[in-house]
């Protein structure tokens, strides 16, 4: 009798595990905070692999880290958390070389540098959403607070420019979850990650110009979405050389509006 009771108990535990564990795991995976990364190929000029945690659902949730990998196309993007005085030089270079770019801005940047934002738009660049307060969007569980991080930036842009903000979003700090990508998609956004970035944002510890030129050019590949920070003095100095060198290698710079669906 005791043996039968023990067997029944084990069967009950097994049923409970099979019933509840997958449901719990699924719910957890939907909201778990992830950190963006890519696995760079050892072969120069080959696109990297995306993160194993999210590559299966990334496209279905409106996420991009690559563009058209069938041709030598690059998409240049800048993150603008605050103005350090180099964006004007960056815009000068882009205008001279006739290269489009996307600038991902927070609301305080729009408020503090309206003339630069207007110039970006006037010169044909995209000014896109980088949130209001630069939080991890995956950490915001309150839907109203989540939406406000997005809509506050949209409203500031529309008040300044008189048009709706382009629907591209760059996750602050590269933090995301499947749930937050779906929320952004429901708001009409494509979430733009990257297939190249490097440590360029430390304003008091800038890389050398030669290092940056080699790093960026070696990281280029067909369909590459390049992330660099506009607070970098080095980036502002090397940008013309980098763009010209990559163009001489046959690369063409396109807008995020040309991303394949």
DSSP letters spanning the chain: -HHHHHHHHHHHHHHHHHHHHHHHHHHHHHH--EE---B--SSTTPPPB--TTTTTTTGGGTEESB--TTTTEEEEEEEESS--S-HHHHHHHHHHHT---EEEE-HHHHHH-HHHHHHHHHTT-EEEE--SS---GGG---HHHHHHHHHHHHHHHHHHHSSPPPSEE--GGGEE-HHHHHHHHHTTPEEE--SB--S---TTSPPPHHHHHHHHHHT--TTEEEEEETT-HHHHHHHHHHHHHHHHTT-EE--GGG---
> What is the distance between the alpha carbons of residues 188 and 182, in angstroms, rounded to a whole number?
10
**Which one of 134, 221, 229, 245 is the catalytic residue?**
229
> What is the distance between the alpha carbons of residues 228 and 197, in angstroms, rounded to a whole number?
6
Is 229 a catalytic site residue? yes
Is 130 a catalytic site residue? no
| Residues 34, 53 contacting (CB under 8 angstroms) | yes
**Which one of 79, 125, 130, 200 is the catalytic residue?**
79
Largest Cα separation within the chain, whole Å, is 88
> What is the distance between the alpha carbons of residues 216 and 124, in angstroms, rounded to a whole number?
24
Catalytic residues, by residue number, are 79, 229
């Amino acid at each position: 009798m005791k043996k039968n009771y023990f067997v029944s108990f084990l069967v009950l535990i097994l049923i409970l595990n099979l019933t509840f564990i997958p449901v719990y795991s699924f719910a957890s995976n939907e909201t778990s905070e992830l950190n963006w990364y890519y696995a760079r190929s050892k072969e120069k000029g080959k696109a990297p692999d995306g993160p194993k945690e999210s590559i299966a659902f990334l496209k279905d949730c409106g996420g991009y880290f690559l563009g058209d990998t069938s041709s030598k196309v690059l998409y240049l993007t800048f993150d603008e958390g605050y103005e350090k005085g180099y964006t004007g030089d960056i815009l000068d270079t882009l205008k001279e070389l006739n290269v489009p770019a996307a600038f991902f801005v927070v609301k305080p940047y729009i408020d503090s540098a309206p003339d630069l934002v207007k110039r970006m738009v006037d010169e044909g660049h995209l000014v896109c959403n980088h949130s209001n307060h630069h939080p991890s969007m995956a950490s915001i569980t309150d839907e109203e607070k989540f939406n406000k991080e997005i809509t506050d930036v949209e409203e500031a842009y529309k008040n300044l420019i008189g048009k709706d903000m382009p629907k591209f979003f760059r996750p602050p700090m590269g933090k995301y979850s499947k749930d937050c990508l779906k929320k952004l998609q429901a708001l009409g956004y494509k979430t733009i990650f990257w297939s190249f970035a490097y440590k360029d944002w430390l304003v008091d510890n800038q890389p050398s110009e030669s290092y940056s030129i080699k790093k960026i050019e070696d990281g280029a590949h067909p369909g590459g979405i390049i992330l660099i920070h506009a607070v970098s003095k080095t980036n502002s100095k090397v940008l013309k050389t980098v763009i010209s060198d990559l163009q001489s290698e046959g690369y063409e710079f396109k807008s995020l509006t040309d991303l394949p669906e």
